[in-house]
Amino acid sequence: MSFLHDIGKYFLMISSMFTRPENVRMYLKETMRQIYQIGIGSVLIIAIVSTFVGAVTAVQFSYQLLDIGLIPMWWMGIIVRDSLILEMAPTICALLLAGKVGSNIASELGSMRVTEQIDALEIMGVNTTAYLVGPKVVGALFIIPFLIIMAVGLGIVGGGVAGAMGGFFSTADYIRGLQDGHEVYYVVVMLIKSYVFAFIITTVSCFQGFYVKGGALEIGNASTRAVVNSSIVIIIANFLIAFLLL
């Protein structure tokens, strides 16, 4: 019953976001702040992780192909490209952002709830879910797909550099593989994943922080639940999208 109660509160919180803003300029300013915090604040970690994920993918698959001996090494371009587009970039980036952005969102809203800042906004007539949750969701939906596209590009570069440095394949063979048999539909699936994951990260984290009761200990627990629950829902959504669209 508690689980069903939380599900109901979650959907009520989401539905309450879709209202006319009291002050459009204030909402836009908050949205831009969230875009900066979520996007610019996560560029470095996404860049480092995605580059080395592409490098590890290229090296590990190259070892396997060399052992088989019958497969041309220019296939590595296809393998790295499709692995990053369909799975590695969107899923790993989403899990990273769930830990970095999700915990931050839950802590921020939890602190506002405990210190009664949210109650003060409600007394002033502000729709707190629309003002505090809406800009975070919109900001994430705007910037996270760009982060994932950047991750794909850096992962491809990292795979090419690692493979060339290890002598597994030449740069020309790798580029040939990247250009061979590219499916635009895979990019569409990647973008669908990026938008779904961005929505999950922000809404689940906002829900955990928005309804905190207690003090500092409860804020820490809410932050932990935000990361864990977001990660679980992302993995489930990833499976469903792959199962239904591929």
In a domain, 88, yes or no: yes
At residue 43, the pLDDT reads 92
- The answer as to whether 64 is a domain residue is yes
- Which has the closest alpha carbon to 104: 47, 10, 37, 50? 37
Is the CB of residue 185 less than 8 Å from the CB of residue 68?
no
pLDDT at 69: 65
Domain span at residue 55 reads 24-245
Q: Which residues of 29-43 are buried (b: 16+ CB within 10 A; e: fewer)?
A: ebbeebbebbbeebe
The answer to whether position 7 is within a domain reads no
For residue 214, name the pLDDT band (cuts at 50, 70, 90). confident
With cut-offs at 50, 70 and 90, classify the pLDDT of residue 124: confident
**For residue 224, pLDDT beyond 80:** yes
Checking if the pLDDT of 48 tops 90, the result is yes
Report yes or no on 92 lying in a domain.
yes
Residue 53 lies in a domain: yes
- Confirm if 135 and 31 have CB atoms less than 8 A apart: yes
Dist CA 154 CA 166 (whole Å)? 18
Whose CA is closest to 88, among 136, 155, 161? 155
**11 has pLDDT over 80:** yes
Domain count, the chain: 1
Average pLDDT over residues 227-242: 94
Question: Which of 232, 217, 204 lies closest to 106 in space, CA to CA?
Answer: 204
User: Does any domain span residue 16?
Assistant: no
Q: Which DSSP letter does residue 41 get?
A: G
Q: Does residue 56 form part of some domain? A: yes
Mean pLDDT of 181-187: 87
Least confident stretch, 15-19, 77-81, 110-114, 143-147: 15-19
Name the pTM for this structure. 0.91
Give domain status of residue 108, yes or no: yes
pLDDT, average across residues 71-86: 87
